Amino acid sequence: MNDIFAVVGHPLSPDAIAAQVDEPGAGGVVIFSGVVRNETGGRPVKFLEYEAHAPMAEAKLREIGAAIRARWPGVRRVAMLHRIGRLEIGESSVLIAVSSAHRGEAFEACRYAIDTLKRTVPVWKKEHFEDGEVWVGLQGG
């Protein structure tokens, strides 16, 4: 299998994750990268901080991988990485790569992976502004 599911503290690289899902029988690789935006609701963001409950986060990432295997049998390899700690504008917070024999499956599985990750994986984002900081996910919180 060689699938990879991890919460990491280092910068994420599309080249590296593409190499991780590289497989002689795979013809297509789809990569999703979530990038730190410079503003939220019009308010300039200085930087972000991500926190995870890593053991459960990695378990949930593995569950997503298992669901992909069950639903898209043409998928060859899956890699899902979430970065935590301080991230600057433009850096990648999440990187998902799926390789498959046929590209349709890679597109569908990769989208399923990020959609499900956002719902189920225990990770929290704090936005740092010039004049304060806010945990994301609860309006007015």
**Rule CB under 8 A: which of 96-125 touch its own copies?**
99, 103-104, 106-107, 110-111, 114
Radius of gyration, CA atoms only, the chain: 16
Query: Segment near its own copies (CB under 8 A), from 2-10, 26-34, 77-85, 129-137?
Result: 26-34
Question: Of these partners, another protein, its own copies, none, which one is at the site of residue 137 (CB under 5 to 8 Å by kind)?
Answer: another protein
Tell me how far apart the 2 most distant CA atoms of the chain are, in Å.
52
Helix axes 103-120, 54-71, angle to 10 degrees: 150
Calculate the alpha carbon distances from 7 to 12, 54, 68, 120 in Å.
Answer: 11, 6, 19, 14
User: Which DSSP symbol is given to 82?
Assistant: E
Task: Report the nearest approach of another protein to the CB of residue 16 (Å).
Answer: 19
Q: Which of 10, 15, 42, 132 binds its own copies (CB under 8 A)?
A: 15
Question: Which residues of this protein are in contact with its own copies, per CB under 8 A?
Answer: 13-15, 17-18, 22, 24-35, 37-39, 89-90, 92, 99, 103-104, 106-107, 110-111, 114
